[in-house]
Structure 1
C-alpha cells in the first residue's frame, strides 16, 4: 500500500528521497503542499508524545507509513500485537478481581483469561460487523485485519496498567486508562475511515459498552 501524507491523508508516491545513507530530503504533498511526513526525521519520543496527545498526524504516520501491508511481517506483527493486547486486558481484569477470596490463584487466572477472551471476541465482532456497515474506509483499509491492527495499536495506553506492578494505585485507575484507550481508538478509527465524528463515537461507545457488559456478566 502506498504511503500517505500525514496532514491530509492523500496518497503520495514517496515520502523522501535518499541521496546517501543518512542523507535524505523529505518530499511535500502535492495536495496540501506540506511536508508529507515530518515524523521520519523526528525522535521516537516526539511521536509517542503526539500519540498521547491524540494528534491524527501521528496516527497516520504509524498506521499508513509504518504498519502498512507492504510490511512482509504484517501477519506476525498483528499476531504479536494482538497477543500483547490480550495479555494487558487480562491483567486489567486480574487487578479488578484480585480481591476475590473465593477462588485460588490458578482458578482466578483461568477465569480472568476466559473473561478477557470472550469480552474481546464480542468487542471485535461488534467493531467488524458495524464498521463494515456504517463506515466508509480509506482505500486499502477495509479488511478485518486492518480494523484489528488499528484498534490493537491504538490501545497502547493499556501498557500503563503494568505500572501497577511497581506502584500502588486505586483500582479505579483502570477505568481512567480505559477511557483514554477508548478515545485513542476513536481517533485511530477516524484516521482510517472517512466517516463522521458521530458515527465513530457511536461505534466506539457501543463496542466498549458491550465488552464491559460481557465482563460484568462473567465476573
Structure 2
C-alpha cells in the first residue's frame, strides 16, 4: 500500500479496503463510542472492534480477509509490509508473523493426540493451513491470490518433501 504520508505508517487500516485511516473510533464517554468510516470505501473502517473474539475466530476460520486485516493490522499492529522506507528484514518478519498466526489450524493436530481420529484428518488440517496461509499472505503483501497460493503451496510441498527425505519414507 505505499500510500503512507509522513507519520501515517502507524495508523490502523480499514478492514474493507486496506487503506490507512486516522482512527477507528471516537470515544465520547466511557462506553459510548462511534465507529469511524473509511474515506476511500465509505464503509465502517473496523466493525470488529465491537465483536467478541469468538466472532473474529469464526471469521478467521471462514478465511475472511476483513478478519485477517483486523487481527494483523489493527490488533497486532503490522504496519509496513509494503512501505519502501522499511527494511527487508522488517518485511520478512511481518510475513513470517502472519504465516505463523495463520497456521492456527495445526492446533487440531494436538486434539488428534488426545482423541482418536483417522489419519485422513491430517490431510484436511494441512489443506486448511495452506488456505489460511494463502489468505494471510495475501492480506499482508497484497499480491494476487494465485501468486500467494503458489508461494504457500511451494513452501508446503518443500516441507512435505523434506520430511519424507529426512524420515526416509517413500
TM-score tier by shorter-chain length is 0.7 to 0.9
Q: Which of 146, 153, 161 matches 1:205?
A: 153
Tell me what 2:113 maps to: 165
In structure 2, distance between residues paired with 1:200 and 1:10: 20
Give the total of aligned pairs: 153
| Greater per-residue helix proportion | 1
**1:213 partner SS:** helix
Closer, same or farther: CA 55–69 of 1 in aligned 2, 3 Å: closer
Residues 25-104 of structure 1 correspond to what in structure 2 (within 5 A)? 25-69=34-78
- 2:78/2:94 contact within 8 Å kept: no
- 2:72/2:78 contact within 8 Å kept: no
Tell me what 2:164 maps to: 216
In structure 2, distance between residues paired with 1:160 and 1:19: 42
Work out whether 1:155 is the aligned partner of 2:99.
Answer: no
Which sections of structure 1, spanning at least 5 residues, go unmatched? 71-136
Tell me what 2:4 maps to: none
In structure 2, distance between residues paired with 1:18 and 1:181: 37
Higher relative contact order (CA 8 A, sep 6+): 1
| Displaced runs of 4 or more, over 4 A | none
Question: What's the C-alpha RMSD, in Å, of the aligned pairs?
Answer: 1.7
